[in-house]
């Protein structure tokens, strides 16, 4: 009986919400004005869509809110909070190993089976996987909300583009240089923000990101301004001449290798002395410092490692697209990478990979909705924070084996 | 600078001003090897501020804070960064528990081992035999510390899920993991019932014996303070108004006036 | 000299609008310690509402001044409603959560609102009619102080005075001050904190809307992206003046407006936006409390 009452109550609340939202969005959704021609267009169908859509969404919202509140009271009582069935299923070693092996086979065979177009899409997704893993170190592990992450991406991209353009240095020569440059910039940008708290840190890094982009746009002499740099060389393999198709395949395998390295490095870091120090830093800076951890070093390391990964990806991106300009390095990019980390699960390697695939591949395959991509991004971030802040896959702490005899 | 025989901490004329507010005024305090020294006083007397001054969270406006680590000579630690103070060998707990909630009890203690271990990024990624051995040592040592405070059965529980008393003990275990020569406990018995307080007292005595560590604690629970401490300092309004053995202090009329109230309450 | 006056009044008028938006940021931060990332979008929506009202009424042949008045009123009401709704959806459910959560939610809301307007309207710049008439008595000053600028300055001033009176003398104003100082205590003495927070968002959004309509009328065009840049700059202004301080937001807005105006006038106009960002970064690093803010020490 109580269930039905709750449901009816939710229906009423959703109906009211729908009316309110329809009213709220009426002018912008329904009315189009042309002040020069003095014409007003009324699109009443949009109102209907808005009413129906809001009603359904509000209903779902209330339902999920009830679930959330029930979950919260369970957690207060000490139960609940476990992993979802999916995660438990995946963690079963008899499932995990063959799944990983299969996944690896698919990954290796991919460009040989699918078209160049598809391979390019997957390369993009893999780039975002590594970007996500890099930001995961800074945000997910160390808790430093870097909203200017795209600046490091730009550093790597422009480093390769410019060195290639001016000095004809090849991809493989520049790659380690990009990594070092990234690390250096990470420390450079990390220094001023050491003392800053969460929100302020976020805004300052946002500011840095914007400054970098604006400088790239306006300093024509250095970065060639908004027109960017084109004809960037692709990675070479002992001077062998490739067709475009082979270039793409080669790029794909390079990326695959880099992804595997990035996953390996991140996973190892997470469950290490440094990883624990970052987690402590994230949870309580003061206690962390009081227990003997040098916060400054830990923060700078987190920044610079994240930056290194981003810079390397920047170089890869420049090589892949052979053309870069400042428009690829906006705040939206930082926000998108953040969305990947948040959606996937801050601190969780598998989660970030999943998040990158979902946020990058899904829009590619659902072309019908591509217009709404950013809208869904925004909504996703809100929904994930409200209902599942730990993300798709909760970061798990390692269970250690203890030698009980050792004293 | 006169050196008190086998002192581990020597505080001379320390004052702390926050703008116009004088939180500490010419405080003198010694802790000698193996002692349990208590710092008591009404709320707002400056006790936690004092802790913060000697652990590097604040830099005293005046005076000297001298530490005498196990190896090496005495060191003036005014304004030394908190993590260096901990590395030197002075570890603390906090008035409002500051554990790391999303880490397990074991991992909280493992954090304490950080300043005594050395694996860096390369070690983390490559995980050679040296790193793996160090890791296992950290795990084992932390587990043993959990056993010492009676928390080994909750080693893999998240710190935020532990009951209050367990959390306080966990904080102490974490501080012990840093191998301190001086343990600074800020109201360790706060919120505990008499039974728990008794167990805590016994634990502190055991810890002093086993780890050869000196203890400086802030406490409000008079019964525990009187029965546990070798010496007591009483603070009021940022000044030390009395010091001595528990017997001496409880008989001091100034202390009675300022803090202990009617004798029947003690 | 004339050039200087031009830059001065230009900076004053631009700074007044920054101040209006900055007030919203500072009030919200003062009450719930959240950087309302979506606030810039509320300003943008205010401008769009103004445009739509103006468009409808212009098509119906109404006189310019009354269109302006009605556009302001409706835009304020709608923006207030948006602010109220945004808070209820994206921030209220996260009130107890760690600080990263509402910030990320705010970023999501900002992206959502931007793209909502983009999709529902158009990505292009839309022309905004000049609703502020040129007044006769302003003719001699036209070379450095246009009617538009004067109007903006005067309206902003009036609105800010009204806000100050409200905060100081009304019951709700007192409740807002109390909640900003100590939320738990305010609850204990019977203040309805939910209402206070909603009211803060409502007022802040309304102020932003006024700014949006005024600037849109002055510049002559708007698009879905103006909220982002204006938002960051206004946030810079709020921080410059001291986040959480209402007079600080006004001071910060004016300082930023003048800095931008004089810097672009005398130094370089290419890097206009960079000045604001550099200022932001420098203040947050060297004096995060801002000009009028208090250094809040953390209890250990």
Does residue A191 belong to any structural domain of this protein? Answer: yes
Q: How confident is the model at residue A130 (pLDDT cuts 50, 70, 90)?
A: very high
Distance from CA of A15 to the nearest CA of B (A): 40
Does residue A133 belong to any structural domain of this protein? Answer: yes
- In the prediction, which pLDDT does A407 show? 46
Does residue A369 belong to any structural domain of this protein? Answer: yes
Give the torsion through C-alpha atoms of A215, A216, A220, A226, to 10 deg. -120
Residues composing chain C: 300
Residue A81 has pLDDT above 80, yes or no: no
* Mean pLDDT along residues A366-381: 81
**C268 φ, ψ (degrees, to nearest 5):** -165, 140
Q: Element (H or E) spanning A380, and its range?
A: helix A373-387
CB-CB contact of B124 with A274 (8 Å) = yes
Residue C43 has pLDDT above 90, yes or no: yes
- For chain C, list the contacting chains (3+ Cβ pairs, <8 Å): A, B
- In the prediction, which pLDDT does B107 show? 93
Interchain CB distance below 8 Å, C108 and A374:
no
Which is higher by pLDDT, A227 or A406? A227
Does residue A402 belong to any structural domain of this protein? Answer: no
Rounded to the nearest 10 degrees, what angle do helices C272-286 and C246-266 cross at? 140
- For chain B, list the contacting chains (3+ Cβ pairs, <8 Å): A, C
Which is higher by pLDDT, B22 or A224? B22
**pLDDT tens-place string over residues A264-274:** 999 999 889 99
Residues A105 and A62 in one domain: no
Distance, in Å, from the CA atom of C81 to the CA atom of C201, rounded to the nearest integer, reads 9
Does residue A27 belong to any structural domain of this protein? Answer: yes
- In the prediction, which pLDDT does B250 show? 84
For chain C positions 233-272, those within 8 Å of chain A (CB to CB) are: 235, 239, 270-271
Residue A99 has pLDDT above 90, yes or no: no
**C135 φ, ψ (degrees, to nearest 5):** -85, 145
Residues A39 and A112 in one domain: no
Does residue A401 belong to any structural domain of this protein? Answer: no
Chain C contacts of A332, Cβ < 8 Å? 111
In chain A, how many domains are there? 2
Q: How confident is the model at residue A90 (pLDDT cuts 50, 70, 90)?
A: low
Burial C41-77 (b: 16+ CB within 10 A, else e): bbbbbbbbbbbbbbbbbbeeeeebeebbebbbebbbe
Instruction: Please classify residue A169 by burial: count the beta carbons closer than 10 Å to its beta carbon, then call 0-12 exposed, 13-18 middle and 19+ buried.
Output: middle
Residues composing chain A: 407
A315 in contact with chain B, both atoms CB, cutoff 8 A: no
Instruction: Please classify residue B34 by burial: count the beta carbons closer than 10 Å to its beta carbon, then call 0-12 exposed, 13-18 middle and 19+ buried.
Output: middle
Supply the CATH number for residue C246's domain: 1.10.3470
Residues A224 and A311 in one domain: yes
> Which residue range is the domain that position A231 belongs to?
98-387
Last residue of a domain, one of A26, A43, A76: A76
Residue C83 has pLDDT above 90, yes or no: yes
Does residue C300 belong to any structural domain of this protein? Answer: no
Does residue C132 belong to any structural domain of this protein? Answer: yes
Chain B contacts of C300, Cβ < 8 Å? 48, 52, 57, 94
Does residue C15 belong to any structural domain of this protein? Answer: yes
Mean pLDDT score across all residues of chain A: 84
Burial A29-48 (b: 16+ CB within 10 A, else e): bbbbbebeeeebeeeeebbe
Residue A79 has pLDDT above 70, yes or no: no
* Mean pLDDT along residues C98-116: 89
Domains, chain B: 1-89+181-266 (3.40.50.300), 100-179 (no CATH)
Chain B contacts of A401, Cβ < 8 Å? 139
**pLDDT tens-place string over residues B65-103:** 999 888 878 889 988 999 999 999 999 999 889 999 988
Helices (H), chain B: 47-54, 82-88, 105-112, 121-126, 129-148, 164-176, 194-211, 222-228, 246-251, 253-255
Residues A142 and A47 in one domain: no
**pLDDT tens-place string over residues A1-19:** 677 787 888 888 888 888 8
Most confident of A309-313, B72-76, B235-239: A309-313
Residue A61 has pLDDT above 80, yes or no: yes
- And the tokens for A16? 């009211």
The two beta strands, B75-76 and A39-42, are unpaired
Chain B contacts of C295, Cβ < 8 Å? none
> Which residue range is the domain that position C156 belongs to?
2-286
Chain B contacts of A406, Cβ < 8 Å? 137, 140-141, 144
Residues A46 and A121 in one domain: no
- In the prediction, which pLDDT does C22 show? 93
Q: DSSP 3-state assignment of B39?
A: strand
**pLDDT tens-place string over residues B2-30:** 444 688 999 999 999 988 889 999 999 99
Residue C180 has pLDDT above 90, yes or no: no
- And the tokens for A3? 């269930």
**pLDDT tens-place string over residues B176-208:** 999 999 999 999 998 888 899 999 999 999 999
Q: Which residue has the tokens 């003048």?
A: C258
Query: Residue A264's closest chain B neighbor by CA?
Result: B125
Considering only CA atoms, which of A313, A274, A5, A267 is closest in space to residue A129? A313
Which is higher by pLDDT, A268 or C98? A268
Q: Element (H or E) spanning A85, and its range?
A: helix A85-91
Mean pLDDT score across all residues of chain C: 85
* Ranges A319-333, C228-242, C279-293: which has the least confidence: C279-293
* Ranges A337-351, A384-398, C3-17: which has the least confidence: A384-398
Whole-complex ipTM: 0.89
Distance from CA of A300 to the nearest CA of B (A): 13
Name the DSSP letter for residue B56: T
Query: Residue A144's closest chain C neighbor by CA?
Result: C100
Residues A102 and A58 in one domain: no
User: How many C-beta neighbours within 10 Å does residue B3 have?
Assistant: 10
Considering only CA atoms, which of C52, A215, A283, A51 is closest in space to residue B159? A283
In chain C, how many domains are there? 1
* Ranges A41-45, A307-311, C80-84, C86-90: which has the least confidence: A41-45
CB-CB contact of C44 with C38 (8 Å) = no
Distance, in Å, from the CA atom of C73 to the CA atom of C155, rounded to the nearest integer, reads 13
- In the prediction, which pLDDT does B3 show? 45
Distance from CA of A111 to the nearest CA of B (A): 30
Interchain CB distance below 8 Å, C105 and A286:
no
Last residue of a domain, one of A76, A108, A123: A76
DSSP for chain C, please give it: -HHHHHHHHHHHHHHHHHHHHHHHHHHHHHHH----TTHHHHHHHHHHHHHHHHHHHHHTT--HHHHHHHHHHHHHHHHHHHHHHHIIIIIGGGTTS-THHHHHHHHHHHHHHHHHHHHHS-SS-EE----SPPPGGGGGGTTT--HHHHHHHHHHHHHHHHHHHHHHHSHHHHHHHHHHH-HHHHHHTT--HHHHHHHHHHHHHHHHHHHHHHHHHHH-EE-TTHHHHHHHHHHHHHHHH-TT-HHHHHHHHHHHHHHHHHHHHHT-STTHHHHHHHHHHHHHHH-TTTTTPPP-PPP-
Which is higher by pLDDT, B86 or A78? B86
- In the prediction, which pLDDT does A80 show? 43
Distance from CA of A39 to the nearest CA of B (A): 59
- In the prediction, which pLDDT does B4 show? 46
CB-CB contact of A335 with A132 (8 Å) = no
Chain A contacts of C239, Cβ < 8 Å? 203
Does residue A268 belong to any structural domain of this protein? Answer: yes
CB-CB contact of C22 with C238 (8 Å) = yes
Which is higher by pLDDT, A32 or C87? C87
- For chain A, list the contacting chains (3+ Cβ pairs, <8 Å): B, C
Does residue C133 belong to any structural domain of this protein? Answer: yes
**A77 φ, ψ (degrees, to nearest 5):** -75, -5
Distance, in Å, from the CA atom of C169 to the CA atom of B22, rounded to the nearest integer, reads 36
**pLDDT tens-place string over residues A100-109:** 788 888 888 8
Residues A43 and A115 in one domain: no
Residue A406 has pLDDT above 70, yes or no: no
Interchain CB distance below 8 Å, C232 and A210:
yes
Residues A208 and A173 in one domain: yes
Positive/negative CA dihedral, C253, C254, C257, C263: negative
Last residue of a domain, one of A15, A43, A76: A76
**pLDDT tens-place string over residues C193-231:** 889 999 999 999 999 999 999 888 888 888 888 898 888
Q: Count contacts between A and B (CB, < 8 Å).
A: 120
* Mean pLDDT along residues C260-289: 79
Burial A279-312 (b: 16+ CB within 10 A, else e): bbbbbbbebbbbbbbbbeebbbbbbbbbbbbbbb
Distance, in Å, from the CA atom of B259 to the CA atom of B7, rounded to the nearest integer, reads 28
CB-CB contact of A153 with A317 (8 Å) = yes
- In the prediction, which pLDDT does A78 show? 44
Interchain CB distance below 8 Å, A207 and C94:
no
Q: DSSP 3-state assignment of B203?
A: helix
Considering only CA atoms, which of A292, C65, C109, A195 is closest in space to residue B86? A292
| Three-point CA angle C101, C26, A65, nearest 5° | 30
pTM, two decimal places: 0.87
C100 in contact with chain B, both atoms CB, cutoff 8 A: no
Residue B39 has pLDDT above 80, yes or no: yes
Does residue A404 belong to any structural domain of this protein? Answer: no
* Mean pLDDT along residues A168-195: 90
Residue C64 has pLDDT above 80, yes or no: no
The two beta strands, B231-236 and B239-244, are antiparallel
Residues A110 and A66 in one domain: no
Distance, in Å, from the CA atom of A376 to the CA atom of A369, rounded to the nearest integer, reads 9
Distance, in Å, from the CA atom of A19 to the CA atom of A53, rounded to the nearest integer, reads 11
- In the prediction, which pLDDT does A263 show? 92
Interchain CB distance below 8 Å, A291 and B178:
yes
Which is higher by pLDDT, C20 or A170? C20
* Ranges A156-165, C244-253, C260-269: which has the least confidence: C260-269
């Amino acid at each position: 009986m109580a269930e039905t009452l709750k449901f009816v109550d939710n229906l009423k609340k959703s109906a009211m919400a729908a009316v309110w939202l329809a009213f709220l969005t009426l002018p912008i959704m329904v009315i189009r004005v042309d002040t020069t021609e003095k014409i007003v267009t009324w699109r009443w169908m949009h109102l209907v869509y808005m009413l129906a859509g809001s009603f359904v969404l509000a209903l779902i919202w209330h339902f999920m809110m009830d679930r959330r509140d029930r979950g919260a009271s369970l957690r207060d009582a000490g139960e609940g909070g476990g992993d979802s069935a999916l995660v438990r299923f995946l963690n079963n070693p008899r499932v995990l190993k063959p799944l990983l092996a299969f996944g690896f086979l698919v990954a290796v065979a991919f460009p040989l089976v699918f078209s160049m177009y598809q391979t390019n899409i997957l390369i993009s997704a893999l780039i975002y996987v590594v970007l996500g893993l890099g930001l995961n170190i800074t945000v997910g592990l160390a808790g430093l909300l870097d909203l200017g992450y795209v600046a490091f991406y730009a550093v790597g991209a422009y480093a390769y583009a410019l060195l290639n353009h001016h000095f004809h240095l090849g991809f493989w020569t520049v790659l380690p240089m990009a990594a070092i440059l990234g690390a250096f910039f990470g420390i450079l940008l990390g220094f001023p923000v050491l003392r800053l708290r969460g929100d302020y840190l976020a805004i300052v890094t946002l500011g840095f990101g914007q400054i970098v982009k604006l400088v790239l746009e306006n300093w024509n002499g250095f970065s060639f301004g908004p027109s960017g740099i084109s004809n960037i060389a692709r990675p070479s393999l002992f001077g062998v001449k490739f067709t475009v198709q082979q270039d793409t395949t080669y790029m794909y395998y390079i990326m695959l290798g880099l992804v595997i390295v990035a996953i390996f490095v991140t996973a190892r870091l997470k469950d290490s002395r440094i990883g624990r120090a970052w987690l402590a830093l994230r949870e309580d800076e003061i206690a962390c410092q009081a227990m003997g951890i040098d916060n400054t070093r830990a923060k700078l390391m987190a920044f610079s490692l994240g930056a290194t990964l981003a810079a390397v990806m920047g170089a890869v991106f420049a090589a892949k697209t052979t053309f870069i300009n400042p428009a690829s390095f906006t705040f939206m990019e930082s926000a998108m990478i953040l969305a990947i980390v948040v959606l996937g699960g801050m601190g969780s390697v598998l989660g970030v990979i999943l998040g990158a695939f979902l946020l990058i591949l899904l829009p590619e395959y659902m072309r019908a909705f591509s217009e709404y991509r950013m809208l869904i991004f925004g909504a996703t971030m809100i929904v994930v924070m409200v209902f599942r802040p730990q993300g798709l896959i909760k970061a798990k702490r390692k269970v250690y084996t203890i030698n009980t005899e050792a004293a | 600078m006169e050196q008190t025989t086998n002192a581990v901490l020597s505080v001379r004329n320390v004052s702390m001003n926050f703008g116009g507010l004088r939180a500490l005024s010419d405080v003198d305090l010694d802790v000698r090897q193996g002692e349990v020294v208590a710092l008591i006083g009404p709320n707002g007397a400056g006790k936690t501020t004092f802790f913060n001054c000697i652990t590097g969270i604040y830099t005293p406006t005046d005076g000297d804070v001298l530490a005498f680590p196990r190896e090496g000579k005495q060191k003036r630690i005014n304004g030394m960064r908190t993590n260096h103070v901990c590395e030197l060998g002075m570890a603390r707990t906090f008035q409002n528990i500051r554990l790391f909630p999303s880490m397990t009890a074991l991992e909280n203690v493992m954090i304490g081992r950080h300043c005594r271990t050395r694996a860096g990024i390369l070690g983390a990624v490559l995980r050679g035999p040296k790193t793996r051995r160090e890791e296992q040592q950290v795990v084992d040592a932390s587990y043993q510390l959990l056993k010492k405070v009676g928390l080994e059965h909750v080693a893999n529980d998240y710190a935020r899920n532990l009951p209050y008393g367990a959390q306080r003990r966990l904080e102490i275990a974490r501080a012990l993991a840093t191998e301190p020569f001086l343990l600074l406990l800020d109201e360790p018995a706060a919120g505990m019932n008499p039974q728990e307080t008794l167990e805590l007292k016994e634990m502190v005595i055991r810890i002093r014996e086993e780890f050869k560590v000196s203890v400086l604690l802030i406490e409000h629970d008079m019964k525990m303070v009187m029965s546990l401490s070798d010496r007591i300092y009483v603070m009021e309004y940022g000044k030390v108004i009395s010091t001595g053995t528990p017997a001496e202090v409880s008989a001091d009329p100034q202390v009675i006036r300022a803090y202990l109230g009617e004798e029947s309450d003690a | 000299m004339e050039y200087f006056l031009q830059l001065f009044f230009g900076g004053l008028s631009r700074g007044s609008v920054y101040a209006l938006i900055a007030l919203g940021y500072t009030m919200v931060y003062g009450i719930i310690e959240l950087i309302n990332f979506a606030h810039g979008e509320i300003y943008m929506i205010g401008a769009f509402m103004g445009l739509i009202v103006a468009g409808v009424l212009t098509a119906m042949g109404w006189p310019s001044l009354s269109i302006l008045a009605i556009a302001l009123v409706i835009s304020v009401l709608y923006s207030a409603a948006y602010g109220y709704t945004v808070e209820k959806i994206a921030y209220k459910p996260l009130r107890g959560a760690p600080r990263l959560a509402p910030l990320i939610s705010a970023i999501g809301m900002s992206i959502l609102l931007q793209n909502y307007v983009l999709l529902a309207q158009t990505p292009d710049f839309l022309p905004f009619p000049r609703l502020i008439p040129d007044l006769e008595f302003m003719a001699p000053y036209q070379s450095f102080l246009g009617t538009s600028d004067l109007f903006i300055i005067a309206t902003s001033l009036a609105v800010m005075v009204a806000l100050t009176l409200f905060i100081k003398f009304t019951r709700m104003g007192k409740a807002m001050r109390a909640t900003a100082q100590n939320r738990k205590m305010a609850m204990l003495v019977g203040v309805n904190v939910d209402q206070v927070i909603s009211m803060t968002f409502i007022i802040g959004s309304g102020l932003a809307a006024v700014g949006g309509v005024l600037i849109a009328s002055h510049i002559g065009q708007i698009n879905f992206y103006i909220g982002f840049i204006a938002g960051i700059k206004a946030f810079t202004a709020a921080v410059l003046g001291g986040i959480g301080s209402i007079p600080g937001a006004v001071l910060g807005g004016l300082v930023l407006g003048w800095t931008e105006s004089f810097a672009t006038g005398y130094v370089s106009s290419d890097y206009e936006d960079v000045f604001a960002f550099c200022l932001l970064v420098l203040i947050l690093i060297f004096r995060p409390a801002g000009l009028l803010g208090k250094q809040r020490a953390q209890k250990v």
